[in-house]
Chain A
Amino acid sequence: MSFLTPLYLLGIAAVSLPVVFHLIRRSPQGQTEFSSLMFVPTSPPRLTRRSRLDQLLLLLLRALALLLLAAAFTRPFFRQAEEKNLYARFTRRVAILVDTSASMSRGQVWQQAITQVEDVLQDLEPGEDVALYTFGNQLRPVVPFGDGGRGQDPRTRVALVRSQLATLKPSFEATNLGGALVNLADAMEAINAEDQSAGALQIVLVSDLQQGSQLESLQAFDWPEEIRLSVRRIADTGGNVELHTLVAHDEDDSGFVRVRVSNVDPAGRQEFTLRWQQRNGEYTADDPFPVYVPDGESRLVKMPLPETQAVVDRIELTGDVCDFDNIYYVNPRQQITSRVLYLGSDPVNDPQGLAYYLERSLIGNRWRIIEFASRSEWGVPAESVQQSPVSNADDAPKTASPTVKSPAAGTPPELSEIDLVVVATDLDAQHCQTLRQFVIAGGRVLFVLVRSEMADTMARLLDRPAVEVSEADVDDYAMLADIDFQHPLFAAFADPRFSDFTKIRFWKHRQVDVTDDDALQVVARFDDGDPAVIESMIGQGRIVILSTGWQPSDSRFALSSKFVPWMTGMLHDFHLENRDMQRLYVGDLIPLTADTASQVASSSRKIIKPDGSEVRWNTADGDFGGVDQPGPYRIQAGETVRSVAVNLQASESDTRVLPVEALEERGVLLGVQATPKDMAEHARQMRDLELEDQQRVWQWLVVALICVLIAETWLAGHVERGGTTVAAVEAGE
């Protein structure tokens, strides 16, 4: 027999009360005042008849009534069969999600994290399945879920997790907490669905929960109802300073680097210093640059470049509490040389021709050298303008004219060194094929359609049988309209302040029929609907067709303020990606660009990581994804070596504490799922309730109680009548 509410069994103790009341020494109930006790003798308490158990049967009946009442309240029931393996029906999957981002490497945070995981492992019960996941930029399973806790000794799983835990260490990645939670929740749901079990799902997050954690992924995620997240925050003393450069280098050649120092997590320190470091870790001879940043504020300082010619690639910040993010890597200064080849009949010094304006629009600087070459025909150098090349960077003006090189007569141009080929003349089929190969390898060609007769050349370049080109009938002038500002050529003009092209008038232009040719993308059209700028992607390069010229006879394009930026964009579009590469962070991909994808055998192309390890990089694999630590990555392709600086994510430096409520606000259900033991206990209670409801033993007990009470009443009445009779007889005597 079992009881639903066994605590009421304590009520049985009430049975002893009447007996106890009778047997204990009777103490006087009240107090009687009397005039004088001078005649009153002292009478010791004596056992009267009432102090003995005289009505034993009556007492027993009353005790039985109390017993039945207490038993009815306990709601007794009979168990049919004890379920032995009740726990086996219930499981719980516990995924321990350990933050291995860069911020976990500061202070004693990682040791505390290990301790927290150990605590979780110790609290595990039989029937629980445990898995270990880590996350930085992305979720990584270390020990995935097993069989859901059924039949597997949990100690084995715990030992496995412990052994893997010992191998873990913080990475240099950012904290993509939202993404990790979303992926883990999805994975756990999938495991549960695959297993067709309804086990409780629990995620235990062990993290320092810094403000820099990325939670955006949780915004659009519908958190599963059956998953609960419990957070074990790692407490830290706090205090960190973020270091960041606004521009990778002194691109404007000002001699300064603009550095932002943010005292994001104040720890009472406001004075810091910045110093340049060389690649080998040695400081330059320059004095440390002091920075004062009040608590919680940010300062933008112009840090002077080192006066020496030493190659520096990092800035170190001293004075910070946490040193995991105190080195900021920058790309060492490199001169970039861009080469432009013009194929056209007009001389460079002819103001009515194209070359005259093209040569003047290509503006370089100290770090970007532009070499311009002009040929009237393939292999025939045009009349060229000789300018002295940049011999010394210190002597170079801030805005240098392109260096115009005069190739030797009769020699074909070395297209492998050319970045941009501007074609404004007819070419034969062989040369067109050569140019086409150049484009396929990643080169770029600007084909200026100055005459409708150049249609054949254009067709050969585009590898088309024929292209219909005719002179457009322009009444007065045409203007550019329908410009795709998303295109890199016009992206610089996307801002409404610069997007007005109506002042550029085109007197003449050619009509190019691009209908039924999906390979040709019209980037801009004239206001009469004719294509003005057409792009064709061929291989890894592209051909841009301009259906008009910029010389005064065709348009006023060369004289407008838009021409120089447009032409610079045409040339430097290749280096946009290079510029982006200068802001690489741990976890990013090093993009495959023209220079890295050059005609070098894959076997000789490799990346030397900051720790000295070398990784072979196949172009076929695309972008390089093994960026797992900060520092300079040296890309070696053939003879050329290019360095790319990789830094920690700036958000990782924001070590302020993120409140747990931030997760709740994004729909994450916090809490702890019931353990299998709790669930089994709950199920047992539910089953007991059901059994008791079916049997209803208490009703029979109540019936018995009523019967006992009736008997007791009758007996008490009988005894009372008997006593009264005796008393009456005594009184009569």
Chain B
Amino acid sequence: MTAQATPTHSAQPGSSASFIDPQALMRIKTLQWRAKVVVEGFMSGLHRSPYHGFSVEFSEYREYSPGDDLRYLDWRLLARSDRYYIKRFEEETNLRCYLLVDRSRSMGYGSGDYSKDEYARTVAATLAYFLLTQRDAVGLLTFDEHVVDYLPARFRPGHLHRLMLCLERQMSGTGTSLEVPIAQVARTVNKRGLIVLISDFLAPVESLQKQLGYLRSRGHEILLLRILDPREVDFRFDDASMFQDLESGQQRYVDPQSARQEYLQRFEKHAQQVQEICDDQEVDLYQLLTDQPLDRALFDFLSSGMRRKRRVMRRSGDRSLKGGASS
């Protein structure tokens, strides 16, 4: 399974030399402009639809099985080889992508000049811009412990603007609940699509597997982008002080020097749990640190698309092989 082969991608500073410095990018006030800058700097090609349909472009042959539509039977091959094959064409479809953006309080943390929320919104805006540029339908759902905003996937003039308005809205929630947005998407989105979940996943992971499995069972492709601050990863603080939980408001005296080791262990364990869940559900998980260029998110998105494509092709290949063996 390809998902196992693509573990969590972390920052690769050496490979991002040509990327845009996120600090410089964040100085651009308008979200749409940030997205435009990222996308136009990255634009390197369009992905192709992984879905097969009826199109003018031939894809492959498949052996006829009873029940197949006879319209697609290749008569000329039948005449030439006396075998029944069905012609399959590569269908160019529009992608329906849903961006699920976490707007909880924990996303408001930032050790630098900007917060994770700022970063996440920019990532979402970039993806939305990119997809809309490709004439794909993009939907948006922001959430904290409840669903804050929901925009169905559309491709129409002005939709990008509405997306940006929703993203620019100030965060107001407190906690993080992954169940609510996922259940909302599963309930409202009937047509299969791509679901990009942008969050820090700093929440209990017990229900994550169930929710992701539910989505997967509905045929959605899922991409998890985990946004983390570098301090959350390395926990490098100098002085002991009262640490306040941004979501619960809870205060706790912490001496970073003594607590760091245990924190890193707990954090790693949680990250592994998330990764295991993703692996189980064949879900791509990418970790983005807020000091990494945003181009990387686009890069991860596209590479995830490639992997999805390969997965589909492998599945279809498996099915054809199974079919051939049986025949």
Task: State the A residues within 8 Å of B (CB).
Answer: 26, 28-46
Contacts and interface: CB of A to CB of B under 8 A. Distances in A.
Interface residues of B, number: 35
Interface in B226-264: 229, 232, 237, 239-248, 250-255, 258-259, 262-263
Contact of A45 (B109, B202, B239, B240): B240
Contacts of B109: 33-35
A40 B270 CA distance: 12
A30, A42, A43: which has the most chain B beta carbons within 10 Å?
A: A43
A29 B238 CA distance: 12
A31 B250 contact: no
Contacts of A28: 239-242, 253
B202 A43 contact: no
B300 interface: no
Given A43-B258, A46-B258, A37 B252 contact: yes
A35 B239 CA distance: 17
Contacts of B244: 31-34
B116 interface: yes
Contact of A32 (B107, B116, B237, B250): B237
B266 A39 contact: yes
B262 A31 contact: no
B171 to A, nearest CB: 13
**Looking at chain B's contact residues, is the secondary structure mostly helix, strand, loop, or mixed?**
mixed
Given A43-B254, A46-B258, A36 B241 contact: no
Contact of A34 (B203, B240, B246, B262): B246
B106 interface: yes
Given A32-B241, A35-B229, A41 B253 contact: no
B243 A34 contact: yes
Nearest to B259: A43
A27 to B, nearest CB: 9
A33 B254 CA distance: 11
Contacts of B266: 38-39, 41
Closest 10 A-B residue pairs measured CB to CB? A35-B109, A39-B266, A35-B106, A43-B255, A37-B245, A36-B202, A28-B241, A43-B259, A41-B262, A43-B258
21 contacts: A28-B240, A28-B242, A30-B241, A31-B242, A31-B243, A32-B241, A33-B244, A35-B116, A35-B200, A35-B229, A35-B245, A36-B106, A36-B245, A36-B246, A37-B248, A37-B252, A39-B263, A39-B266, A40-B263, A42-B253, A45-B253
Nearest to A36: B202
B267 interface: yes
B232 A37 contact: no
Contacts of B232: 35
Interface string B163-206: 00000000000000000000000000000000000001011100
Interface in B265-279: 266-267, 270
Given A28-B253, A34-B109, A39 B243 contact: no
Contacts of B229: 35
Interface in B76-122: 106-109, 116
Interface of B: 106-109, 116, 200, 202-204, 229, 232, 237, 239-248, 250-255, 258-259, 262-263, 266-267, 270
B255 to A, nearest CB: 4
Nearest to B270: A39
A32 to B, nearest CB: 5
Contacts of A31: 241-244, 251
A556 to B, nearest CB: 127
B241 A40 contact: no
A585 B240 CA distance: 97
What is the predominant secondary structure among interface residues of chain A facing chain B? Answer: loop
Nearest to B255: A43
Contacts of B246: 33-36
Contact of B242 (A26, A32, A38, A46): A32
Given A35-B116, A35-B200, A40 B259 contact: yes
A34 B248 CA distance: 11
A29 B252 contact: no
A37 B255 contact: no
Contacts of A40: 243, 252, 254, 259, 263
Contacts of A34: 109, 243-246
A39 B259 CA distance: 10
A669 B197 CA distance: 95
Contacts of A41: 254, 259, 262-263, 266
A37 B237 CA distance: 14
Nearest to B262: A41
B287 to A, nearest CB: 15
B228 to A, nearest CB: 9
A46 B256 CA distance: 12
Nearest to A41: B262
Given A35-B106, A35-B232, 6 more contacts: A28-B241, A34-B109, A37-B250, A41-B254, A41-B259, A41-B263
A35 B202 contact: yes
A36 B203 CA distance: 9
Contacts of A29: 239, 241
A33 B109 CA distance: 8
Contacts of B203: 38
Nearest to B109: A35
Contacts of A26: 240
A38 B242 CA distance: 15
Given A43-B254, A43-B255, A37 B106 contact: no
B86 to A, nearest CB: 54
B231 to A, nearest CB: 8
A89 B203 CA distance: 89
Nearest to B250: A37
A32 B245 CA distance: 9
A31 B237 CA distance: 12
Contacts of A44: 253
Contacts of B262: 41
A38 B253 contact: no
Most chain A beta carbons < 10 A, residue from B200, B243, B251: B243
A26 B109 CA distance: 27
Residue of B106, B237, B255 with most chain A CB atoms under a 10 A cut-off: B255
Contacts of A39: 263, 266-267, 270
A40 B232 CA distance: 10
Contacts of B254: 32, 40-43
B4 to A, nearest CB: 26
Nearest to A32: B241
A34 B251 CA distance: 10
Nearest to A33: B244
B205 to A, nearest CB: 11
Contacts of A32: 237, 241-244, 254
A30 B253 CA distance: 10
B212 to A, nearest CB: 20
Contacts of A35: 106-109, 116, 200, 202, 229, 232, 245-247
A45 B239 CA distance: 12
A234 B237 CA distance: 80
B197 to A, nearest CB: 17
Nearest to A38: B202
A38 B250 CA distance: 10
A588 to B, nearest CB: 95
Nearest to B107: A35
Interface centre among A26, A33, A44 (most CB of B within 10 A): A33
